Amino acid sequence: MPVFSSRLEAASPDAAGLASSPRYVQVARTLESAIERGEYQPGNALPAERELAVRLGVSRVTVRQAIAQLAVRGLVVRRHGSGTFVAPSGPPVRIQHPLSRLTSFTEDMHSRGLSAGGRVLSFAAGHPSAQDAMKLNLSPGQQIYRVRRLRTAGGEALAVEESLLNAGRLGPLSAGDVQDVSLYALLQARGVGPVRALRQLRAVNADDELAGLLGVPVGAALLATERLAWDAAGQPVELARAHYRGDRYDFVMELRD
Amino acid sequence: MPVFSSRLEAASPDAAGLASSPRYVQVARTLESAIERGEYQPGNALPAERELAVRLGVSRVTVRQAIAQLAVRGLVVRRHGSGTFVAPSGPPVRIQHPLSRLTSFTEDMHSRGLSAGGRVLSFAAGHPSAQDAMKLNLSPGQQIYRVRRLRTAGGEALAVEESLLNAGRLGPLSAGDVQDVSLYALLQARGVGPVRALRQLRAVNADDELAGLLGVPVGAALLATERLAWDAAGQPVELARAHYRGDRYDFVMELRD
DNA sequence: CAGTGGTCTAGACCACTGA
DNA sequence: CAGTGGTCTAGACCACTGC
């Protein structure tokens, strides 16, 4: 077990005007480089927060602030009641989602031999917001279905997806209809399968709800997408918003001149 | 100025087994809904942390923990010495980057009437890591150039981009060569312009270095991309890694069946 | 049960902003 | 200069884990 020699740079009162960073940043860097040097092996626990505080000559709050930075970046994983562990090394298993083709989550997982799972978080009929109505080419009074699902692969939560469906084009729908089957398969079966879509990607921080559903720390980076899909008749059929775990999901695409 | 009626749910000791969330989450929600109700207008300051602490009957640390959540999600902006302000409302100006075509940052900004700026953070000749060598189809001993640039538009930092260039295919390069001109223009001029590329997108949290360069809070969500580009001869010429501000940058693309 | 991370407090000082 | 956010402390109790 490594011993931290000095109490950080306690005795170096930034002599030559060297910008001395806050203690918690120094602590974070100290821990990070110790991990990189292999002094703490992947899967092993770091010393307890209280012990680190004593060793480094700082308060526990400062240690926690430092570890929080490493945790949100995925270098370490905290387990309540157990310890703080160095994250499993190497590039973690990442889902490579091809972005150029119009595929569903379900198909996509199957095509790479993973069991696509899911759970319907909520299903309801309702009305679109003004903005969403515009996107779906509806008037705000027309009906939509709203399906919110948690997508999993290999038993692990990967994404939260919310779909708004044009009820008028789709016909009656009940909660049971969206339980097991792929939404895309359902749309196809009803003759309004999407043939074209526009997709936007951005990065956002997880709020506490998404964090809870996906099993990541609050603030963890998520890949957020919004996808608007049209059927063969050129009518919008689905507006889908999804949040993918940033540490598990890659979108890949090919570009040409 | 709104007054918070109760001291949170101090007097409701989760009677029916209602999961009572931590105080800082409650504080965050209290503030968030006050903002949504318009009690604090965009651009205006929130009450000072010390005052919120008194009003809500919690310690200042707890208030700070709550505000930190809102800050990383972009709802509020903290200004040291001045105050905490509700973020400018509405959808902020977001750069919409079309992902389907092979364009450079410079071209891309120009095409939408923005002045593309930039600053070279570092330029050096060197050798690729084992992994990067494989991607560039080089042996680890062969030479590469490494250019790190801060990209700006409208005077605001938008992205940090690091390019690894195959020195053998490119010929001699000096720091001056990459100063003002677009890298793509440079490659084209030397006859190794990229005609095909593979691009990966993911979401990561900003470490303190990227946060500092981009002017966002540590932990803010960034869109990270890696792009490997080939020239007409089918040889890899560039491996580029970029980090875009999640709150300013959208990637957009069209999908077909 | 002991040991761990999770939350919270009261109070202190520093660094920065703006009148 | 007063007021603000930024950092830090010492100590407390809770909630969870695993022996």
* Structure token digits, residue B67: 């505000």
Q: Both B100 and B82 in a single domain? A: no
Phi, psi dihedral angles at B97 (to 5 degrees): -95, 115
| Residue A16 confidence (pLDDT) above 50 | no
Given a contact cutoff of 8 angstroms between Cβ atoms, the answer to whether B190 and B166 are in contact is no
User: What phi and psi, each to the nearest 5 degrees, are found at residue A118?
Assistant: 180, 165
Task: Tell me the per-residue pLDDT of A160-218, one tens digit each, with 9 for 90 and over.
Answer: 999 999 998 888 888 877 777 778 888 888 888 899 999 999 999 998 889 888 888 88
- Residue A147 is predicted with a pLDDT of 93
| Tokens found for residue B5 | 């009626």
Query: What CATH number should be reported for the domain holding residue A117?
Result: 3.40.1410.10
The pair phi, psi for residue A132, each rounded to 5°, is -65, -35
Roughly how many angstroms between the first and final C-alpha of chain A, as a whole number? 54
What is the number of other CB atoms lying within 10 angstroms of the CB of residue B240?
A: 21
Residue whose structure tokens are 């692969």:
A153
> B11: left (phi > 0), else alpha (psi -120 to 50), else beta?
alpha
Q: Contact A257/B194, CB-based, under 8 Å? A: yes
Asked if residue B203 and residue B140 are part of one domain, the reply reads yes
Look up the domain containing B29 and give its range: 23-86
Closest CA to B120 of B168, B184, B163: B163
Q: Where is the domain boundary, A86, A108, A138?
A: A86
- DSSP SS3 for A69: helix
Is the residue at B116 inside a domain?
yes
Binary contact (B73, A252; C-beta < 8 A): no
Q: To the nearest whole percent, how much of chain A has pLDDT over 70?
A: 90
Ranges in chain B, pLDDT < 70: 1-19, 89-92, 100
DSSP codes, B169-217 = HH----GGGGTSS-HHHHHHHTT--EEEEEEEEEEEE--HHHHHHHT--
Average pLDDT over residues A132-147: 93
Question: CB A195 to CB B69 under 8 A?
Answer: no
Same domain, B69 and B40: yes
CB proximity B60–strand C (7 Å threshold): yes
Q: What is the dihedral of CA A203, A206, A209, A214, to 10 degrees?
A: 90
Burial (CB count within 10 angstroms: exposed 0-12, middle 13-18, buried 19+), residue A92: exposed
Q: Cβ separation of B253 and A99 shorter than 8 Å? A: yes
Alpha helices in chain A (DSSP H): 23-36, 49-56, 60-72, 105-111, 130-135, 167-170, 183-189, 208-214
Mark whether B176 and B243 lie in a shared domain: yes
Instruction: Tell me the CATH number at B82.
Output: 1.10.10.10
Strand D: which nucleotides have any atom within 7 A of a protein Cβ?
A: 3-12, 15-18
Same domain, A132 and A232: yes
Query: Is the predicted pLDDT of residue A256 greater than 90, yes or no?
Result: no
Query: Global pTM?
Result: 0.87
Closest CA of chain A from B134, distance in Å: 16
A193 and A103 fall within a common domain: yes
The answer for A 101-140 residues in CB contact with B (under 8 A) is 101-102
In a domain, A16, yes or no: no
Residue A132: CA count within 13 A, CB half-sphere: 23
The C-alpha of B81 sits at a distance from chain A's nearest C-alpha, in angstroms, of 17
